[in-house]
């Protein structure tokens, strides 16, 4: 069926042809060769009709193109919207992960890291691009490898694993105690990733250990202090009797020597009970606000005198003044340095550092937050095995049982007690065979 446009074109073409014929040719009817005119007009009508058809085709094509264009535009807009939504979702999740204080990680079944969030990277000292492909077991402390490997394999075989407690090692060698949970993602029954979320509990653990230490030592102190006082009284009585009897004997009597031995034993006993009392009560400190520089240097030098041990000081120029009993603090430095000396039988170096430190709320130290002076005394001695670290502050704990180096196990117990009485504390870090550092925290003068 011819459409309206082509018919309109045909009619217009016919009328135009008739008009031209009427204007430019003789138009009497009938006239010569009239069939030629009719043929001409019919040709015009036909040509106009086809032009109309063509115009219609163009119009249709244009409309189709416009429609297709609009569709494409719509599709593009929808795609852009979808991309934008995806980007927003990605940003949301990445923001959620990266702003989490917990360490979040995803590990491939071959143990290589697929993803780790910002807390993980910052805690362990990794740049973002160093994470993908890095072997996870290289950040786990070697002591924890066996335990972690067992958990890892359990997860890969589809078993559930409860809370994981382990230790990571940061790039700078810091040990980070963590606890967390992991689960495994399976696709077509094949493990593809182990997802884990861990919390840094280093400070909390340290605090727990400090609190346990404080409670244990306090309990021992109460018991030991009570017994020591009673014993001290008994010994004082005994000493008085011995002295009386000794004085009553004629000077040439053989018993005098025996009584003198008894007196010496009593004095030794009193010395021991005195140590218990100092440990239990920390003596009664006579505190003064002083700059500790000279006292520290002198105490360390005296304790090292005669030993083949070098000493290096790095004391901050702006050290806080501290409120201390000088005699008691000297005893603390002396006990720590004597231990360092005894740990370095083949010589070495003791390093003493002192610097101001602001101790925050979650300090893991069991001391009040505030300004402190931190003194670190480091030796290059035999170190302290991990299993002994929790016991070295206990009275009577000693590993020195040889004739040449007989310990009483009181040195650090007394240090601890004195430090607590000063509102500070003493902590230790050591690696077997690599030396030891004692940290002494003293509250700054108000
Ligand atoms: P003592 O020195 O009489 O044994 P301490 O209380 O002073 O008692 O020390 C307890 C134990 O702690 C020591 O026997 C030793 O095993 C360990 N210790 C203390 N300081 C060090 C150190 N600097 N290096 C290695 N071990 C140490
Ligand atoms: Mg000692």
Of 46, 80, 114, the residue that ends a domain is 80
Do 186 and 168 contact (CB within 8 A), yes or no? no
Here the tokens at position 423 are 């509102």
Q: How many CB atoms lie within 10 A of CB 400?
A: 14
**Pairing between β-strand 348-359 and β-strand 309-315 as defined by DSSP bridges:** parallel
| Pocket probe mutation, ligand 1, options 392, 418, 428, 430, max atoms within 8 Å of Cβ | 392
- How far apart (Å, rounded) are the C-alpha atoms in residues 339 and 335? 6
Report the nearest-CA residue for atom 7 of ligand 1: 411
Question: 361 and 264 in one domain?
Answer: no
CA of 398 to the centre of ligand 2 (A): 8
In a domain, 150, yes or no: yes
Atom of ligand 1 nearest to the CA of 340: 23
Question: 57 and 23 in one domain?
Answer: yes
Question: 63 and 156 in one domain?
Answer: no
Euclidean distance between the first and the last CA atom of the chain, given in angstroms as a whole number:
106
Instruction: Output 26 or 6, whichever has higher pLDDT.
Output: 6
pLDDT score, position 284: 66
Least confident of 25-34, 150-159, 186-195, 414-423: 25-34
Local structure of 442: helix, strand or coil: strand
pLDDT score, position 26: 60
pLDDT band at residue 31 using 50, 70 and 90 as cut-offs? low
348 CB less than 6 Å from ligand 1?
no
CA of 414 to the centre of ligand 1 (A): 12
Do 183 and 106 contact (CB within 8 A), yes or no? no
For position 121, which CATH number holds?
3.30.450.20
| Pocket probe mutation, ligand 1, options 380, 407, 436, max atoms within 8 Å of Cβ | 407
397 CB less than 6 Å from ligand 1?
yes
Of 281, 310, 344, the residue that ends a domain is 281
27 has a pLDDT exceeding 90: no
pLDDT score, position 272: 86
pLDDT band at residue 410 using 50, 70 and 90 as cut-offs? confident
Here the tokens at position 334 are 């002396």
Those residues whose C-beta lies under 8 Å from the C-beta of residue 311, and which sit 6 or more positions away, are 300, 301, 304, 349, 350, 351, 352
Question: Tens of pLDDT along 272-284?
Answer: 888 888 778 766 6
pLDDT score, position 259: 92
222-259: b (≥16 Cβ within 10 Å) or e = eebbeebeebbeebeebbeebeeebeeeeeeeeeeeeb
Question: 381 and 295 in one domain?
Answer: yes
Atom of ligand 1 nearest to the CA of 413: 6
343 CB less than 6 Å from ligand 1?
yes
Atom of ligand 1 nearest to the CA of 408: 3
Do 306 and 267 contact (CB within 8 A), yes or no? no
Question: 211 and 175 in one domain?
Answer: no
Radius of gyration of the chain (CA): 47
Question: 276 and 292 in one domain?
Answer: no
Q: How far, in Å, are 24, 188, 397, 404, 408 from residue 401 at the CA level? A: 141, 63, 11, 8, 9
In a domain, 92, yes or no: no
275 CB less than 6 Å from ligand 1?
no
24 has a pLDDT exceeding 80: no
Atom of ligand 1 nearest to the CA of 379: 23
pLDDT score, position 167: 94
Mean pLDDT score across all residues of the chain: 90
pLDDT band at residue 105 using 50, 70 and 90 as cut-offs? very high
| Pocket probe mutation, ligand 1, options 345, 395, 398, 428, max atoms within 8 Å of Cβ | 398
| Pocket probe mutation, ligand 1, options 332, 339, 414, 439, max atoms within 8 Å of Cβ | 339
In a domain, 24, yes or no: yes
Q: Which ligand is nearest to the CA of 217?
A: 1
Report the nearest-CA residue for atom 19 of ligand 1: 339
Question: 277 and 228 in one domain?
Answer: yes
Residue ranges of the alpha helices (H) in 27-136? 34-98, 118-124
Question: 139 and 275 in one domain?
Answer: no
Across 370-396, average pLDDT: 93
Report the nearest-CA residue for atom 18 of ligand 1: 339
In a domain, 109, yes or no: yes
Question: 437 and 306 in one domain?
Answer: yes
Question: 295 and 211 in one domain?
Answer: no
77: β partners: none
In a domain, 329, yes or no: yes
CA of 340 to the centre of ligand 2 (A): 9
217 CB less than 6 Å from ligand 1?
no
In a domain, 86, yes or no: no
Local structure of 354: helix, strand or coil: strand
Report the nearest-CA residue for atom 13 of ligand 1: 398
Question: 308 and 242 in one domain?
Answer: no
Tally of structural domains, the chain: 4
Question: Tens of pLDDT along 38-76?
Answer: 888 899 999 999 999 999 899 999 999 999 999 999 999
Across 391-399, average pLDDT: 90
Percent helix, percent strand, percent coil in the chain, to nearest 5 = 50, 20, 25
Here the tokens at position 253 are 């009597």
Share of residues in the chain with pLDDT > 70 (%): 96
CA of 275 to the centre of ligand 1 (A): 16
For position 339, which CATH number holds?
3.30.565.10
CA of 389 to the centre of ligand 2 (A): 14
Here the tokens at position 201 are 């509990």
339 CB less than 6 Å from ligand 1?
yes
196 CB less than 6 Å from ligand 1?
no
pLDDT score, position 2: 67
Question: 110 and 164 in one domain?
Answer: yes
In which domain, by residue range, is 67 found?
A: 4-80
Atom of ligand 1 nearest to the CA of 393: 6
pLDDT score, position 210: 83
402-411: b (≥16 Cβ within 10 Å) or e = eeeeebebbb
Of 200, 216, 243, the residue that ends a domain is 200
Q: How many CB atoms lie within 10 A of CB 369?
A: 12
Across 397-409, average pLDDT: 79
400 CB less than 6 Å from ligand 1?
yes
Q: Is the pTM of this model over 0.85?
A: no
In a domain, 93, yes or no: no
278 CB less than 6 Å from ligand 1?
no
Q: Which ligand is nearest to the CA of 337?
A: 1
Across 369-387, average pLDDT: 95
In a domain, 380, yes or no: yes
């Amino acid at each position: 069926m011819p459409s309206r446009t082509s018919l309109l074109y045909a009619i217009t073409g016919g009328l135009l042809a008739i008009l031209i014929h009427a204007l430019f040719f003789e138009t009497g009817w009938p006239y010569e060769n009239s069939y030629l005119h009719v043929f001409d007009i019919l040709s015009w009508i036909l040509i106009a009709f086809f032009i109309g058809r063509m115009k219609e085709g163009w119009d249709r094509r244009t409309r189709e193109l416009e429609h297709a264009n609009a569709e494409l535009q719509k599709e593009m807009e929808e795609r852009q919207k979808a991309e934008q939504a995806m980007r927003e979702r990605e940003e949301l999740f990445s923001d959620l992960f990266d702003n989490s204080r917990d360490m979040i990680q995803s590990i491939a079944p071959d143990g290589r890291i697929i993803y780790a969030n910002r807390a993980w990277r910052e805690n362990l000292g990794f740049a973002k691009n160093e994470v993908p492909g890095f072997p996870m077991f290289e950040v786990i402390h070697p002591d924890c490898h066996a335990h972690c490997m067992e958990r890892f394999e359990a997860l890969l075989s589809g078993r559930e694993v409860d809370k994981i407690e382990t230790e990571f090692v940061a790039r700078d060698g810091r040990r980070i105690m963590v606890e967390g949970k992991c689960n495994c993602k399976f696709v077509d029954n094949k493990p593809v990733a182990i997802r884990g979320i861990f919390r840094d509990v280093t400070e909390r653990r340290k605090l727990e250990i400090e609190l346990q230490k404080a409670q244990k030592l306090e309990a021992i102190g109460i018991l030991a202090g009570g017994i020591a006082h009673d014993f001290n009284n008994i010994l004082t009585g005994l000493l008085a009797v011995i002295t009386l009897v000794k004085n009553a004997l004629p000077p040439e009597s053989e018993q005098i020597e025996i009584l003198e031995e008894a007196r010496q034993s009593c004095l030794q006993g009193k010395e021991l009970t005195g140590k218990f009392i100092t440990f239990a009560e920390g003596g009664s400190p006579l505190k003064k606000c002083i700059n500790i520089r000279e006292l520290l240097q002198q105490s360390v030098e005296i304790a090292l005198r005669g030993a083949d041990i070098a000493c290096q000081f790095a004391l901050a120029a702006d050290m806080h003044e501290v409120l201390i009993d000088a005699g008691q603090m000297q005893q603390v430095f002396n006990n720590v340095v004597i231990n360092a000396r005894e740990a370095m039988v083949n010589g070495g170096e003791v390093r003493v550092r002192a610097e101001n430190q602001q101790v925050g709320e979650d300090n893991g130290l069991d001391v009040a937050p505030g300004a402190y002076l931190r003194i670190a005394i480091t030796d290059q001695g035999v170190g302290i095995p991990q299993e002994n670290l929790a016991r070295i502050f206990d009275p009577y704990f000693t590993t020195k049982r040889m004739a040449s180096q007989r310990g009483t196990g009181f040195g650090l117990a007394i240090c601890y007690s004195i430090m607590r009485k000063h509102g500070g504390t003493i902590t230790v870090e050591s690696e077997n065979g690599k030396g030891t550092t004692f940290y002494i925290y003293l509250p700054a003068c108000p």
